Amino acid sequence: MKSEEVDNIEELNNLPVDSVRIAPYLSELKQKAEAERSIRHLDLSKTFLIRFLQARDFDVALAFKLLINYHKWRQECPEITADLRPSSIIGLLRNNYHGVLRSRDDAGSRVLIYRIGKYIHKKHFFLIYICFCHIMANITNAQTLFSGQWNPKEFTAYEVFRDSFPLKVRGIHLINEPIFFRPVFAMIRPFLPDKIKQRIHMHGCSYVRSLSSYFPKAILPPIYGGTGPSIDEVCQEWTEFIMQSEDYLYRLSIHLGGGDASQSSTYD
């Protein structure tokens, strides 16, 4: 089954996992996974597989490829995936480096904010991002806003990670990016898929005006030209929430197949 055969992707995304309309997609994906030696031992429950289908608009072939990449990535990067304990970077989290806006954008996507201007090691960035993805397992779409000195090499690594985790990134917004970023990114751009090129937005120093074209002012912190909660409130709320989820995240990290995805986010 391919995505072009699906009449309404968003409608499918909102259906419960045991819906009869979703059953054929889950069945086909499970059959493919069971026939693939490298991943047949994974958790192939409906709640686990549905995330890969949602991330690829119910295109079974693409969902299967993503599932294989996910398993390969977890095996090759144990330093990132084997021990998801937010407490290991509590200092960074309390420095208001990362937050998730209280409300979604007009398309229903969650909005993640990374304040890259505050120093962060690449390993820590991925750990935080993985924690978000696992906790928000029932979230299909996300918008990502990076603020500060974003390194093009880290951006490339981020894209590799994006192809290995069941989450659809609707947009990537860069603000206050350094002067050297644009010419360096121009060299990377030809190698990116067209869909990704269309999702990347560079706002520079004029972000207060331009961000409002993509996000409602009511959900953005004042520092980004909005009227929503302050960035400190947003980051502190998210830190509290992610710390409360530490036991759940650790259980997932020690289960190579992805663990029980039955826990859904209450961060709404």
Ranges of each domain in the chain: 3-76, 86-249
Could you read off the pLDDT tens digit of each residue along the chain, which spans 268 residues? 564 555 578 788 888 889 999 999 999 999 999 999 888 777 788 988 998 998 898 999 999 999 998 888 777 777 666 667 888 878 878 888 888 999 999 888 889 888 876 655 555 555 555 555 555 544 455 666 656 555 555 555 555 566 787 877 788 888 887 777 788 778 878 877 788 788 888 888 888 989 999 999 999 999 999 999 999 999 999 999 989 988 888 777 776 554 444 444 455 6
Query: In angstroms, how far is the first alpha carbon of the chain from the final one?
Result: 32
The residue behind tokens 């819906």 is 19
Q: What Cα–Cα distance (Å) separates residue 61 from each residue in 2, 28, 65, 68?
A: 7, 9, 6, 11
How far is it, in rounded angstroms, from Cα 98 to Cα 112? 8
Q: In what order do the strands lie in the sheet with 98-100?
A: 98-100, 110-115, 141-147, 168-175, 200-204
Tally: H helices and E strands in the chain: 13, 5
pTM: 0.74
For residue 112, what are the contacts with CB-CB under 8 A and spacing of at least 6?
A: 98, 99, 100, 129, 132, 142, 143, 144, 145
**Residue 161, pLDDT score:** 60
**Residue 265, pLDDT score:** 47
Long-range contacts of 58-64, Cβ-Cβ distance < 8 Å, separation of 24 or more? 58/1, 58/3, 58/6, 58/9, 58/12, 58/25, 59/1, 59/2, 59/3, 60/1, 60/2, 60/25, 60/28, 60/29, 60/32, 61/2, 62/3, 63/25, 63/29, 64/29, 64/32, 64/33, 64/36
**Residue 213, pLDDT score:** 92
Is domain 3-76 given the CATH code 3.40.309.10 in the classification? Answer: no
Q: Are 86 and 241 in contact (CB under 8 A)?
A: no
**Residue 26, pLDDT score:** 96
**Residue 120, pLDDT score:** 56
Q: What is the CATH number of domain 86-249?
A: 3.40.525.10
